[in-house]
Chains A and B, each alone.
Chain A
């Protein structure tokens, strides 16, 4: 079973920041937080991952709380192409499999 809880759906205006929350209250010390997204009719796409520190790449930023029980994925300037299902995943370091929940359906509106 997935170890994360996410809202079912969210809306965001084009050009604004999209902040997607994720709860992972049972996360253990060696587990990483991963974010993937799945655009309709495509396979999932890796976005970002982190352990303790906040992370940023060309796609997004990941903010992890100090107690590591929750995190937020930030898309700084959402576009219509960012409309997708976003999955927050907790994965043990060295483990091969990704355990997906149902994710958050993000709709970016013009």
Chain B
């Protein structure tokens, strides 16, 4: 049983560009959450998707958007990249939106130059 998978593993982009990160949830999970983790900090909640809709959102600007597909996989899109967007982006899946346990993927390391 595959756990949460994310692609790509690493990514380098230039300021002003746009990026799309992808996540496949653990088998049997229909809820996906995205987190941003800056170096030396704990992960920060970006948003959560369930039934193809955004359920809850953290304190992130509209440049951060997402999508969930009918197969429960999800994408995180970031427009107009800033240097400060350089971080590890983590995807987590769960059985239900308020499940006590979230399963995290290994993350995508984004570097903005």
Residues of A within 8 A of B (CB): 2, 32, 34, 41-46, 49, 85, 87, 93-103
B33, B55, B100: the one within 8 Å of A49 (CB): B100
* With contact pairs A43-B92, A43-B105, A96-B33 given, residues A102 and B100 touching in the complex (Cβ less than 8 Å): no
Tally of B interface residues using CB under 8 Å:
26
B107 located at the interface, meaning its Cβ lies under 8 Å from any Cβ of chain A in the complex = yes
Q: How far, in angstroms, from A46 to B90 measured CA to CA in the complex? A: 14
Per-residue CB contact flags for chain B residues 91-106 toward chain A (1 = under 8 Å, else 0) read 0100001101111111
Q: How far, in angstroms, from A41 to B107 measured CA to CA in the complex? A: 9
B74 located at the interface, meaning its Cβ lies under 8 Å from any Cβ of chain A in the complex = no
Main secondary structure of the interface of A (DSSP, over half): loop
Residues of B within 8 A of A (CB): 4, 31, 33, 35, 40-45, 48, 55-56, 58, 90, 92, 97-98, 100-107
* CB pair B101 A98 closer than 8 Å: no
Contacts of A46 in B (CB 8 A): 100-103
Contacts of A43 in B (CB 8 A): 4, 90, 92, 104-107
Contacts of B97 in A (CB 8 A): 96
